[in-house]
Structure 1
Amino acid sequence: MADKPPPPPPPPHPSTKPKPKPPTSAAPPTAPARPTPPLKKPPLAQPPPPMSRPLKPPPAHQFRQQQQQNQSTAGGGRKRRHRGHHGGGGCSGRRVCCLATGFLLLALCLALAAACLAYLYYHPRAPSFHLQPLTPTRFHVSNTSSTPSAMDVTVSVRVVTWNPNDRVTFQYGDGGEGRVALSDADGDVALGWAPVAGFRHGARSVATVAFVAAAKGVVVDDAVAARARDGYRRRRLAFKVVVDTHVGARIGGGGGGMRVGMVPVRVLCDGGGMAPRGGVGGTVVGPMSKCQVYLFRVRWLMPVASKLQLP
């Protein structure tokens, strides 16, 4: 059997490059030629992008509203119902407060209108107060060289008041206080105090506020003691009387009418004189001094009777 011919050698792989043959010694080495780079085509011209305005950020309030909406959406419907419940309670509370304030203002307006109508209809006037001359039942001034001068004084005080109104009645409360002081150039000298009882002062009537003040061992200067002794001998002592109490009023006849609650009142009688000797039957003879009336420590602005009128 004849031998088979050998197979042909495989073709060289395209990726593998044939190894260059070493140069011969006869020919001088030459530099390999550089391959020329392929020519690139210029890029095609593209149209310029359209001009667009820069986006502006949303306003601050819109941003906050968007955040709140996102939070409420994330919290769910239960959170929204909870907020709605609180909002309704606040609205109802404000409504109740507004209604209460409106009713209070309406009540004040009605009360003021009623007071103005009552004043115009009844035309009330303040009572007048006059201080009778004081009667010192005891007046003793000690004068020794070893001890300072002292005064022992007991004074009887009577304040006469006149109510000029036809349909207004005054009621003076208990717990009042009356004080007496001796007027002097160097200052007033307190001569004691006494309680004042309450009383009812009817329409067009005269009432009397009477009390007895006593002071013992009141230390004074020698000059004041000398002037007091001289004034007592001449019956020229000057006194100051203050009465603090409470007064209420009833406007209208009979058992009805409008009532006014108790308010503080002060009766100030400055410049009271001393009663002369020779009173008959305990009657004090002499001119009376007029007193000032103060409500809430403010002078009474209502019309006051100019003089004491007897029924």
Structure 2
Amino acid sequence: MSAEFATTPSVHDRDVLASRLAYLTVGLPVAGTVGAVVYAFYFGVTACDVALFVGMYLITALGVEAGLHRYFTHRSFEASEPVRVFLAIAGSMAAQGPVVFWVANHRLHHAFADTDRDPHSPRPRGTGWRGRAKGLWHGHVGWLFDVKKIDWSRHTRDWLADRRVMKINAWYFTLVALGIVIPGAVGGLVTQSVHGVVGGILWGGFVRIFALDQATWAVNSLGHTIGTRTFPVRDQSRNIAALAPPTLGGSWHNNHHARPALAQTRRQWWQLDLAGDFIRLLDRLGLVHQVRYVNSQSDLADGAP
């Protein structure tokens, strides 16, 4: 199964792959979350369950926002080999698609934001509230079941030439499984119980994937529908402050669309951007370089993008 990601898939293979990804990405976390709620009803939720959920959420959210988004898609900094590998693995364990899939669709989103060629624009699909609801559903999750037939290689040539990244890309399903098994193993070791194993799998695995999915997809849907617009960009991207913590700063979406190449989405001191702070920490440690920051303090003061 993993080998199909090692080369550029044909049109038929892409259709099959997109269908598999949709059901994997949407179906399993929903089923696992329902299972976690039922299990908690009978056995409760332990401190270990919560710790594993938070820890795995933070690791995989950094993999998505700092890794798949700001590094692999926008190349907003250059990373050392260990950091590149960590970000690719952590992003893959988020179960939002392999590196090539994620990058290709997001680059297409920026190239054609809020047009017919945008993979996940929440533009109304019809009139009235039904049309708006259909648009929000498509932008949030529906697009995964209707992925555009695109030439992934055209949008990801830089990473197709990177053997290590493509190897990680090829092991996507294995990494998703590890992201579920690892918290179960840790939970079992910490608690020395079967309940620790089950709780770790459910909360550190399935519930964590479900929660991160909703946060990421909300930027696609709500982030182009409600919120504030600081910069007059051509699309409908918005900033949503309330989503900044769970998206690690990804919800400053209008800021991001104004200058996609920047490693930080913060434009005001009070705007929480944990992924940007993580990248800055890596820069200070010498693990990343050529980080693209906001040009100067005057940019922050006068509202320039």
User: What TM-score do the two structures reach when normalised by structure 1?
Assistant: 0.23
Instruction: Kindly indicate whether structure 1 or structure 2 has the higher relative contact order, using CA contacts under 8 Å at least 6 residues apart.
Output: 2
Q: Which has the higher strand share?
A: 1
User: What TM-score do the two structures reach when normalised by structure 2?
Assistant: 0.23
